[in-house]
Amino acid sequence: MRFHLLTLLIIFSFSISLAAVCTSISGAEQLWSRPKLRWLIVGELHGSNETPAAFGDLVCDALEHGKLVTVALERSSSEQELLDRVLTDPDSAHAVKELLRQKDWQEVPDGRSSQAMQRLLLTLHDLHHAYPQLSVFAFDTSTPGDSGAARDESYGQGATVFARKKTE
């Protein structure tokens, strides 16, 4: 069985100050103290409960430390509008339900569509209300049937497009 690496990225453009109470991640302050830190890449094998939960805490901790955060998720770029709605819709349950109707959430049982990822999205929704500058970027531009190499290449292209947008 082939495992895909779920990549979650935190991109820092500049610091801002907002206050909220978050679960601190031991040692994370060493990351946040680096003024030139732009990217933090967190990966996992699909299907764990712990990593999406810890990642949500890490995002929260970064925001609490004044970082501008964009979470890049291994989700189809066709879901971008729905992911944006999950962050901004006051009725998060409705927005998530709409997202879960998408084909990949129904037919790809590899952890990217797990309940843990759904909980992460709800966490990001809650954080967005405290930190409206929080955003999400779906970077999977691959097409069904792509080989592993083609899919990896599409991830790289998606990350490149994202990086260009963030520097404009």
Q: In angstroms, what CA-CA distances link 125 with 10, 118, 151?
A: 16, 11, 28
Tell me the HSE value of 62 on the side-chain side, using a 13 A CA sphere: 30
* Total number of domains in the chain: 1
Select from 105, 2, 119, 106 the least CA-distant residue to 51.
119
For residue 81, the enclosing domain spans 5-167
* pTM for this model (two decimals): 0.79
Write phi, then psi, for 11 (nearest 5 degrees).
Answer: -115, 130
- What is the residue-level pLDDT of the chain in tens, covering all 168 positions? 344 444 444 444 333 333 345 778 899 999 999 988 888 888 777 778 888 989 999 999 999 989 999 998 888 888 999 999 999 999 888 898 898 888 878 777 677 778 888 899 999 999 999 999 999 998 888 777 788 788 888 878 877 877 777 666
**Cα–Cα dist 138/74, whole Å:** 6
